[in-house]
Amino acid sequence: MTDQTAAGLRIRDLRVVFDGFVAVDGVDLDVPRGDLRFLIGPNGAGKTTIVDAVTGLSKATGSVQFGEQELLGREVHRIARAGIGRTFQTATVFEELTVLQNLDIAAGAGRGFARLLRRRRGVPEAVERVLGTIHLADATDRLAGTLAHGQKQWLEIGMLLVQDARLLLLDEPVAGMSHEERDATGALLQEIADGDRTVVIVEHDMEFLRKFARTVTVLHQGRVLSEGSVAQVQADPKVQEVYLGTAADAAVVAEGVDGVDGAGVDGVKVEG
Amino acid sequence: MSALDRLTRPGPLRAALGFGLGALVLLVVAPATLSQFRLDLLAKYLCFGIVAVGIGLAWGRGGMLTLGQGVYFGIGAYAMAMHLKLAQTPPGELPDFMQLYGEVTELPLWWQPFRQASVAVPATVLLPMLVAFVLGQAVFRRRIKGPYFAILSQALAAAMAILIVGQQGTTGGTNGLTDITSFFGYDLGDPVNRTTVYVVVAVCLLGCLAVARQLMQSRYGELLVAVRDAPERVRFLGYDPANVQTFAYTVAAGMAGLAGAMFVCAVQAINPASIDIVPSIAFVIGVAVGGRATLLGPALGAIGVAWLTTAASEALADRWTYIQGGLFILVVAFLPNGLASLPRVVGDAVRRRPAEVTS
Ligand SMILES: Nc1ncnc2c1ncn2[C@@H]1O[C@H](COP(=O)(O)OP(=O)(O)OP(=O)(O)O)[C@@H](O)[C@H]1O
Ligand SMILES: [Mg+2]
């Protein structure tokens, strides 16, 4: 167990400050290797900022280790080469390139210059495999810009897979997807987070979380509020208090505390 | 697939055919049909076409708005001009203009290396590439892009022209380096030799097109487009976009330098006005008009605009400048992908028409 933690993601006392505003305030976070961790919390809780700090986009203090390597202070592309991949809250793919070209670029960061200057012949094996996994085998030559929203998100996940990332950080990967697409994505992510690869998902969708999360960390105002299994986190009164405020979780409403519920919404909103 | 199909479909066969056709027109038809005067002019335009091929790569594919290619064109041109000037100066004497201005009594140190052709000729291409590499690393690492990069590159072109004008005694100042009479021992007054220069220029253009095509079609070319459209995304895949951009920028500078060197041979002179902001912008206008992201668009656009400039300024004098500006605005506003996209735009419009009728 301790062994696995050592090889996974280990964040200590992470702080990110924007012009005096503390977006992430001393976060400790351990994600063991092979885990499928959900990172949740109200808007502005600092979820995306943590992903930004881990991937080198935002300046941070503290420590972020993956495996044996310290990531903080390294350049973005070096962190990526160390096996950390991410997606963005709004799907970003290379719209004017085809699906195949998108994946080929993602697969190629290790290519030497001489190979870059030659043309691609055929489909690389890693790309071929992933094309099937992300259900885009029929769309290899389509421009990524013409894909449906859900397909773009899949393409992004596919890019992480061919990139051979060991740690995958996904920022709201199922936003805007249909029910079937969500289930397919969830199943795919479960499959990915199996043994060697660690997956961290930022998500607002509670139903999706309940179905697929193995462990959950709840953030609030830049700090860790609660952590554990889905059941543990849901039972935590602190979490209920925060989530009543955002009124996003239908489950809490379904628990049937209408009167208190309404008061809670107003109360917490003013506070937030 | 029929043979005709295969020839009209994008691919190596069509490319080879197009290339052969281009070579035929440039190397056989043009010399056979044009007067020496027109052929000399065409050689000059083809030089602009070579610059444009590089801009198409850096700007069209790489998104770097290179408004200052005059710098690299100028380095190539002056390197070649200095060599040719020295080559036609009797041993022990100073080049004519240095004697005339009398500011120096000895050949300046930085002129010395250009005496040897084996130094000067490679320098016309390598020196611009070196400058572009250093500048590109400095600029792209700091993530300077878009308008800031454009302004910076343009300021550089202005600075270089000002520097040359200010150092009249050793650079020829505003007049530049003129009266270049021979080209590696061949008399440039002789039409046969001028035709040879034209042929060399045409071959250089075809060569640059071949290089650009290979780069555009390679994995690097795909990566370059990705960096143009979403540099941050590329970074998160483990590439350093600065290196990707610097390479295209450096290649473009090399082509501009080659063009400058050939320009000197074709025009037999070079002066600061030819490497300043105005010609730098004219290169970009040609590229935009032709279609910046295509292979042939930039070169054809630059050649076309240069040809129009000569033809129109004979007839319209100063008014041509305004017309050129207007043409640029029209193309940018209505054909953002240049004239090269005209067939597709028209095709789309024609195809849409029947659909509208039925619906
Ligand atoms: N570049 C920035 N400059 C200033 N403030 C920022 C910046 N990025 C984020 N913030 C602030 O930091 C806080 C945390 O933002 P973050 O994007 O991490 O929230 P989040 O948990 O991802 O929220 P959401 O669920 O809305 O995506 C917010 O208050 C946000 O306004
Ligand atoms: Mg967010």
Tens digits of residue pLDDT in A56-87: 999 999 999 998 889 999 999 999 999 999 99
Q: For all residues of chain A together, what is the average pLDDT?
A: 85
Mean pLDDT of B267-289: 92
Q: Are strands A215-220 and A36-40 parallel, antiparallel or unpaired?
A: parallel
pLDDT greater than 80 at residue A225: yes
Which among A81, A95, A115 has the least Cβ separation from residue B229? Answer: A95
Q: Choose among A120, A117, A156: nearest CA to A136.
A: A156
Separation of CA A87 and ligand 2 centre (Å) = 11
Q: For all residues of chain B together, what is the average pLDDT?
A: 90
Model pLDDT, residue B1 = 52
Mean pLDDT of B318-346: 80
Is B233 at the interface with chain A, CB within 8 A? Answer: yes
Nearest Cα of chain A lies from the Cα of B281 at a distance, in angstroms, of 27
B236–A118 CB contact, under 8 Å: no
Q: What residues contact residue A221 under an 8 Å CB cut-off, 6+ apart?
A: A25, A44, A45, A46
Q: Choose among A54, A86, A66, A157: nearest CA to B238.
A: A86
Total length of chain A: 272
Q: How many CB pairs under 8 A join A and B?
A: 76
The crossing angle, in degrees rounded to 10, of helices B36-55 and B191-217 is 20
Ligand 1 atom, smallest distance to A219 CA = 21
| CB distance A48 to A171 below 8 Å | yes
Q: What residues contact residue A197 under an 8 Å CB cut-off, 6+ apart?
A: A34, A165, A166, A167, A168
pLDDT in tens, B164-218: 999 999 999 999 999 999 888 899 889 999 999 999 999 999 999 999 999 999 9
Residue type, A31: V
Domain residue extents for chain A: 4-93+147-269
Residue with CA closest to ligand 1 atom 17: A48
Residue type, B116: Q
The owner of tokens 């408004």 is B67
Q: Is the CB of A41 under 6 A from ligand 1?
A: yes
Ligand 1 atom, smallest distance to A49 CA = 18
From A112, which residue of chain B is nearest by alpha-carbon distance? Answer: B220
Distance CA B226, CA B119 (A): 37
pLDDT greater than 60 at residue A145: yes
To test the contact with chain A by mutation, choose from B223, B228, B237, B341 the residue with the greatest count of A C-beta atoms within 10 A, namely B237
Which among A55, A120, A163 has the least Cβ separation from residue B219? Answer: A120
pLDDT in tens, A1-38: 444 445 789 999 999 999 989 999 999 999 999 999 99
Q: Choose among A199, A84, A95: nearest CA to A152.
A: A95
What separation, in Å, do the N-terminal and C-terminal C-alpha atoms of chain A show?
38
Residue type, A129: R
pLDDT greater than 50 at residue B31: yes
pLDDT greater than 50 at residue B30: yes
Nearest Cα of chain A lies from the Cα of B312 at a distance, in angstroms, of 38
Q: pLDDT-based confidence at A271, cuts 50/70/90?
A: very low
**Centroid of chain to Cα B10:** 25
Q: Choose among B230, B221, B239: nearest CA to A110.
A: B239
pLDDT in tens, B65-97: 999 999 999 999 999 999 999 999 998 889 999
What percentage of chain B's residues is helix, strand, coil (to nearest 5)?
Answer: 80, 0, 20
Q: Indicate which ligand has the atom closest to the C-alpha of A50.
A: 1
Share of chain A above pLDDT 70, in %: 87
B235–A97 CB contact, under 8 Å: no
Model pLDDT, residue A244 = 64
Distance CA B86, CA B99 (A): 13
Q: Choose among B83, B14, B43: nearest CA to B200.
A: B43
Q: pLDDT-based confidence at B343, cuts 50/70/90?
A: confident
Find the range with the poorest average confidence among A3-12, A61-70, A181-190, B10-19: A3-12
pLDDT greater than 60 at residue A268: no
Question: What CATH code is assigned to A4-93+147-269?
Answer: 3.40.50.300
The owner of tokens 């619906």 is B359
Distance CA A211, CA A218 (A): 17
- pTM surpassing 0.90? no
Strand partners, A15: A25, A61
Q: Choose among B165, B179, B181: nearest CA to B273.
A: B165
B222–A77 CB contact, under 8 Å: no
Is B229 at the interface with chain A, CB within 8 A? Answer: yes
Nearest Cα of chain B lies from the Cα of A73 at a distance, in angstroms, of 15
From A80, which residue of chain B is nearest by alpha-carbon distance? Answer: B238
pLDDT greater than 90 at residue B337: no
Interface of A with B (CB under 8 A): 55, 57, 75-77, 80-81, 85-86, 88, 92-97, 101-102, 104-106, 108-111, 115-120, 159, 163
Q: What phi and psi values does residue A259 have, to the nearest 5 degrees?
A: -60, -55
pLDDT greater than 50 at residue A53: yes
| CB distance B125 to B262 below 8 Å | no
Is B209 at the interface with chain A, CB within 8 A? Answer: no
Separation of CA A93 and ligand 2 centre (Å) = 18
Taking CA atoms, B182 is separated from A143, B81, B202, in Å, by 53, 11, 19
What Rg do the C-alpha atoms of chain A give, in angstroms?
A: 20
Mean pLDDT of B135-140: 94
Model pLDDT, residue A269 = 34
A97–B222 CB contact, under 8 Å: yes
Q: What phi and psi values does residue A253 have, to the nearest 5 degrees?
A: -60, -40
Kindly write down the DSSP assignment for every residue of A200-254, as one continuous string: EEE---HHHHHHH-SEEEEEETTEEEEEESHHHHHH-HHHHHHHHHHT--HHHHH
> Residues A216-237, buried b or exposed e (16+ Cβ, 10 A)?
bbbbbbbbbbbbeebeebbebe
Model pLDDT, residue A257 = 39
Domain residue extents for chain B: 10-275
Mean pLDDT of A190-213: 89
Does the CA dihedral B291-B295-B300-B305 come out positive or negative?
Answer: positive
Q: pLDDT-based confidence at A260, cuts 50/70/90?
A: very low
Q: What residues contact residue A229 under an 8 Å CB cut-off, 6+ apart?
A: A214, A215, A216
What percentage of chain A's residues is helix, strand, coil (to nearest 5)?
Answer: 45, 20, 35
The crossing angle, in degrees rounded to 10, of helices B70-87 and B146-166 is 30
